[in-house]
Amino acid sequence: MDVKPSFRVQVIHGPNLNMLGLREPAIYGPQTLATLEAMLGQEASQLNLALGFFQSNSEGALVDCIQACFGQQDGILINPGAYTHTSVAIRDAIAAVGLPTVEVHLSNIHRREPFRHHSYIAAVAVGQICGFGADSYRLGLQALAQHLKTL
């Protein structure tokens, strides 16, 4: 018997994450975006979540995707990529829709170049998980599922 998913979560990947596998694998790991999403799909079925996936290199498209989550999704798992460190627009979109959002990064942004240490997203996120490679997403999904249950 199929069990109805308890929560709907939109997974959003920012710029250059479509290049995973090819892109600086010593920093971001060997997995492709497709592999990472397949792993998240498995995790989601354990957690009884329904996932949507979106990737864009464009800031406006990411804002549109976040806005489209309003009324359609229960939470957002986002790796904003380089826009983490630059985008007031993505931060404002998350604040506007008011959905519980978990920020994830493959690398530990706090032990990298100083320009990566600040996140515009962290202040509007439930929390941030970084530095665990693809596992950051898995742990982020678990944390979001747990958080949604408390609301």
The closest of 83, 77, 40 to 58, measured between CA atoms, is 83
Q: Which residues bind ligand DQA (CB under 6 A)?
A: 16, 79, 81-82, 84, 105-107, 109, 116
Annotated catalytic residue 85 = no
Write down the catalytic residue from 13, 28, 120, 137: 28
Place of tokens 């492709």: 32
The nearest distance, CB 113 to ligand DQA, in angstroms, is 8
105 vs 138, beta carbon nearer ligand DQA: 105
The nearest distance, CB 146 to ligand DQA, in angstroms, is 22
Residues in Cβ contact with 10 at an 8 Å cutoff, skipping those fewer than 6 apart: 51, 52, 54, 65, 69, 72, 73, 75, 76, 77
The closest of 13, 64, 16, 58 to 37, measured between CA atoms, is 13
61 vs 82, beta carbon nearer ligand DQA: 82
Annotated catalytic residue 28 = yes
81 vs 100, beta carbon nearer ligand DQA: 81
**What residues are labeled active site?**
28, 105
